[in-house]
Amino acid sequence: MFPFIKNTMFAGVDLAAMIDGTSTGKRNGILQKIFDMMGSGILRPSHPVQTFSIAQADEGFRLLLSGKSTGKIVLTVSKEDIVPFRQGDDSDYRFSKDATYVIAGGLGGIGRQLARWMVRRGAVNIILLTRSHPDKHPEKLRILSELETQGINLCYRVCDIADFQSVREALEGAAQTMPPIKGCFQSAMVIQDRTFGAMTCQEWRQSVQPKVQGSWNLHAILPAGLDYFVMLSSTVCIFGNAGQGNYAAGNTFQDALARYRVARGEKAVAIDLGMILDEGWLAERQDIHHRVMQFDHVLPLSQRELFALFDYYCNPKTTFASPTAGQVITGIQLPVMIARAGREIPEVLHRPLFRAMHQIVPKGSDTTATITNKVHNFAGLIKEAVSLEAAGEVVAEALKAKLCKILGLEVQERTINEKMDSFGVDSLIALEVRNWLAKEMRAEMAVYEILGDVKLIDTGLAVAKKSEFRQAHWGHV
């Protein structure tokens, strides 16, 4: 207390509040003055400083609460620390027998598994909203028969959830004979893939409406105070995907709607799903499934992991600390794991959005090991070519490897003398290849130059001619 004899003042200054709303010039001036005062010793860090490892955090907090500490207490973190934690209680809730639960898209692959899971967790009143009649679909008839055999009070309605009146009539009709609705899964979706420039208005609407109008209709019609409102969104709206601008837009809306509901005090979560291995639209289309498996940045999600998420977010005890908690992103592979496997880290993971993921190293990983990233120096390879024809072969070989990676083909089984269409190149893949050529080869190609009845070697030569890496000694062609 000695300094206070000289009329010393003690003040707590919130620097963030001080500079908030100020001009850039004034803010920089304040910060510069503070740094000057620190440099001259007028401002000094608090002392003494007592440090505790993160494993001793409880000791540090006890000392802080005792009132016997002076200066600062600092927690340090190292990879060797073992942090104690308290195991949370296992989920023991059951769906109420006195409540009804809605599944929109309830006869789709995931919808059918959802219904089975909910029955195992105690649900006895279920409404399935489906776009098409189940009569001509054996797997849909099978689940209906299975649930009815178990004594489930099942109500399925054929309706377009993008049609407000249709949804309201379906739910009001079911309400006549069923208990109050307490939860909803929105798993409806329509895929209409096409590049944005070639997409028709109808294709845009067919994909967007179930996600946008459909989700909003459910939000508007269902009662307040639900135990859960789960929307199955997609990581497509995080990464973007050529040919799926409509689908990405619809899923982005669902992410925003979940935040909106949470901000209003209602339950909601949009789970941005990646690749589901066991069930769903992708699992039922093996050709596309095989292609997606080649994407290094996609981490497949098992059915067990999927239902663990549902188990958490359907629990009435689950709370949301902020609106951002209403969006959950799954299925993104860590860059360090891609590199450790000797694969090239995809360009999408180099975006600023994913920069922090490059700092994450899973527990137990050898952080001292050198991880190499197979990045080809195409500029050097092309420049070293002795002729335009040789450069064309370099490009063609690289293009072959790229196509095989995208399409899940064996590189050893293909040659650069094969035609592009023999690889199964469509307009979506051609667009991806065009962007890759522009980035890696510095050559601007039109999509029509990549598609069709043209050999890889000829495409390689055309790219080499247009490349910024072309050498003067090759001559004019």
Query: Are residue 124 and residue 70 in the same domain, yes or no?
Result: no
The C-alpha atoms of residue 231 and residue 397 are separated, in whole angstroms, by 43
Tokens of residue 145, six digits: 């028969």
362 occurs within a structural domain: no
The C-alpha atoms of residue 5 and residue 255 are separated, in whole angstroms, by 59
Query: Are residue 47 and residue 121 in the same domain, yes or no?
Result: no
The C-alpha atoms of residue 477 and residue 475 are separated, in whole angstroms, by 7
Q: Residue 130 carries which DSSP code?
A: E
Query: Are residue 58 and residue 126 in the same domain, yes or no?
Result: no
- Length of the chain, in residues: 477
Q: Residue 333 carries which DSSP code?
A: -
Cβ contact 99:125 at 8 Å: yes
The C-alpha atoms of residue 355 and residue 164 are separated, in whole angstroms, by 41
Tokens of residue 123, six digits: 């649900």
Determine the Cα angle at 366 with ends 84 and 375, to 5°.
135
Tokens of residue 175, six digits: 């309400």
Residues facing 329 on adjacent strands? 272
Environment class of 127 (CB within 10 Å of its CB; exposed 0-12, middle 13-18, buried 19+) = buried
> Residue 458 belongs to what domain range?
378-474
408 — alpha (psi -120 to 50), left (phi > 0) or beta? left
Amino acid at 153: N
212 occurs within a structural domain: yes
Which residue is it, tokens 């949370």?
88
Task: Write down the pTM of the prediction.
Answer: 0.66
Query: Are residue 392 and residue 294 in the same domain, yes or no?
Result: no
Question: Taking the CA of residue 207 as centre, how many other CA atoms within 13 Å lie in the half-sphere pointing to its CB?
Answer: 21
Q: What is the pLDDT of residue 372?
A: 41
Q: What is the pLDDT of residue 90?
A: 60
Query: Are residue 292 and residue 393 in the same domain, yes or no?
Result: no
Query: Are residue 161 and residue 236 in the same domain, yes or no?
Result: yes
Query: Are residue 72 and residue 172 in the same domain, yes or no?
Result: no
Query: How far is the CA of 54 from the CAs of 61, 84, 365, in angstroms?
Result: 11, 9, 20
86 occurs within a structural domain: no
For the chain, how many structural domains are there in total? 3
Q: What is the CATH number of the domain that holds 305?
A: 3.40.50.720
Q: What is the pLDDT of residue 101?
A: 97
Cβ contact 330:274 at 8 Å: yes
Q: What is the pLDDT of residue 331?
A: 83
Tokens of residue 445, six digits: 């190609």
The C-alpha atoms of residue 472 and residue 465 are separated, in whole angstroms, by 11
422 occurs within a structural domain: yes
Query: Are residue 128 and residue 72 in the same domain, yes or no?
Result: no
Which residue is it, tokens 């290849």?
433
265 occurs within a structural domain: yes
Query: Are residue 141 and residue 286 in the same domain, yes or no?
Result: yes
Based on its alpha-carbon atoms, the radius of gyration of the chain, rounded to whole angstroms, reads: 29
Q: Residue 298 carries which DSSP code?
A: B
Question: Taking the CA of residue 114 as centre, how many other CA atoms within 13 Å lie in the half-sphere pointing to its CB?
Answer: 29
Tens of pLDDT, residue by residue over 363-420, are 655 544 444 444 456 778 888 888 888 888 989 998 888 888 777 677 788 899 998 8
Tokens of residue 20, six digits: 């908030």
Query: Are residue 300 and residue 405 in the same domain, yes or no?
Result: no
* Phi, then psi, of 121 in degrees rounded to 5: -95, 10
Of 165, 178, 168, 159, the closest CA to residue 106 belongs to 159
Query: Are residue 71 and residue 109 in the same domain, yes or no?
Result: no
Which residue is it, tokens 């899973």?
362
Cβ contact 117:110 at 8 Å: no
Q: Would you tell me the crossing angle of helices 109-120 and 138-149 to the nearest 10 degrees?
A: 10
Residues of the chain with pLDDT under 70: 1-4, 86-91, 277-296, 363-377, 408, 475-477
The C-alpha atoms of residue 33 and residue 44 are separated, in whole angstroms, by 14
151 — alpha (psi -120 to 50), left (phi > 0) or beta? left
310 occurs within a structural domain: yes
Q: What is the CATH number of the domain that holds 404?
A: 1.10.1200.10
Tens of pLDDT, residue by residue over 101-131, are 999 988 888 888 899 999 999 999 999 999 8
- DSSP-derived pairing of the beta strands 153-158 and 125-130: parallel
Tokens of residue 169, six digits: 């009539």
452 — alpha (psi -120 to 50), left (phi > 0) or beta? left
**Beta carbons within 10 angstroms of residue 168's beta carbon:** 14
Beta-sheet strand order (sheet of 153-158): 153-158, 125-130, 100-104, 181-186, 228-234, 269-273, 327-329
**Beta carbons within 10 angstroms of residue 200's beta carbon:** 10
Q: Residue 361 carries which DSSP code?
A: -
Query: Are residue 324 and residue 176 in the same domain, yes or no?
Result: yes
358 occurs within a structural domain: no
Of 99, 220, 214, 233, the closest CA to residue 159 belongs to 214
